[in-house]
Amino acid sequence: MDIPNEWGLRIGGTEQFRSNTFEVANPATDERLSTVADASAEDATRAIETASTAFETWSEWDASERGRLLSRISERIRDDVDAIATLETLEVGRPLDHSRQRVEAAASFFEYYAGLADKIEGDTIDVPGDRLNYTIREPLGVTGHIIPWNSPILLGSRSIAPALVCGNTVVAKPSPEAPMTILRLAAICEEAGLPAGTINVVPDADAAAGKAITSDSRVAGVSFTGSPDGGKHVMKSAAEHVSHVDLELGGNTPCVVFPDADIEKVASEVVDCYHNAGQICYTISRFFVHGEVYSEFADALVQEIEALAIGPWTEEPDVGPVISAESQRRIDQYVTEAEENGARILAGGTVPRETGHFYEPTLVDGVSDSDSIVCDELFGPVKTLHEFSDEAEVVRRANDTVYGLYAVVYTKDIDRAHRLAGAMEAGAVAVNEFPLVFVQTPFGGYKESGIGRTKGRHAIENFTQVKNVTIGLE
């Protein structure tokens, strides 16, 4: 695929180039892909001004018209699925089929919110006296979107689509590791008929534009997906002018396997935790397996792991590289430290290639629940295996983390399934299947995994404010 040699910012419906640029590299080869304009704080301010002006007209569009436009955006994304998937694969490194799935999901977000456009409704409330009382949901205004590198087309669409359908305008700041897909998405939106200035994209290399977005009082809402530390900075900055924030932060997902589970089936499903080289916020990090089936499960999962092919997307692998040399080094350091402290490497544990940022899908046991390899979000293809003996014990240990984004349980006992679903301190629980995520269901975290809910109808709450009206009737 031929991609542009240089990408500009997108402000007010035009591509704007800058003398300051940064390079985007292919993590599978470390070769340069393209050069991208490096937005300054002043560029972000101009984007906010443009979005503020565009809001005056976009917010007045009839809701059904906004819905029809989002439908056109969805169609154009599907028409361009192969090109978008290839672009994201080049900058993120994952297998092409996996990127196609994410592009389809992005189209589904625009499609879903297109259908919801004329169903963003208020309520009529019974109050004392001869009065009429009702609520209205109104857009916030300019919204900022800080988008991570691990799945930009999906995660960008997840917040941009509901923001637009509610009548807000968008200033998006993609990650410097993977900005090109979001720049392409903005162009697609405009090609579909989105008015100039309604969506603006300001990639940066040093967070200058991102800081300008979160600190500007004209930005009425910020949607952030990223690290807990990054989310806390966003929250502090937005608090200065009391802007709404929704945050999806880190995860450390437990998967609990009881002895009545079909072990071969479980192993064949949960090996998907190595998709995207484990760089998915909700993917499984810690396996808790009952002692009666511990060895059987370990053997079955190791067999599945060893069958995974690793390599660049051109080789049609199962697992691609991690995003950077720094990420590769950090992951290897965790594994080395664990092994030095007595852990067993059941699978993987090495760098398989000299070229690119690859790390073998790895499974480690013999670690303590308090070890850093267990407690920290590794964001890579390294998972830990733990043995447990009873339900109360595993609930306590699974919840012993600062994160609470997702949890997985395998059991044929329906009573136990409901007990565990209620006991897990997580915003989403999947029972007897992994992964389970849907466009129409709410997603978000407990504890330090975030604030607010994305997806489904719940996302509308992130991008609207409620006005209450009381009319005295004579």
Look up 281 and say whether it is catalytic: yes
Alpha-carbon gap, residue 387 to 364, rounded angstroms: 12
- CA pair distance 457, 118, nearest whole angstrom: 12
Contacts of 376 (CB under 8 A, 6+ apart): 252, 334
Q: Which entry of 189, 273, 281, 375 is annotated as an active-site residue? A: 281
What's the rounded Cα separation, in Å, for the pair 29 and 115? 41
Burial class (CB in 10 A: 0-12, 13-18, 19+), 417: middle
What separation in angstroms does the CA of 389 have from each of 100, 117, 142, 233, 255? 41, 50, 52, 40, 15
The two structure tokens encoding residue 294? 């511990």
Q: Which residue has the tokens 């509901």?
A: 162
Check if the beta carbon of residue 335 is closer than 8 Å to that of residue 364. yes
Torsion angles phi and psi, residue 405, rounded to 5:
-90, -45
The answer to whether 421 and 431 are in contact (CB under 8 A) is yes
The one catalytic residue among 111, 248, 269, 377 = 248
Residue 301 phi, psi dihedral angles, 5° rounding: -70, -40
Of 21, 240, 164, the closest CA to residue 459 belongs to 164
Q: How far is CA 295 from CA 274, 286, 302, 417, in A?
A: 20, 16, 11, 23
Query: Could you list the active site residues?
Result: 248, 281
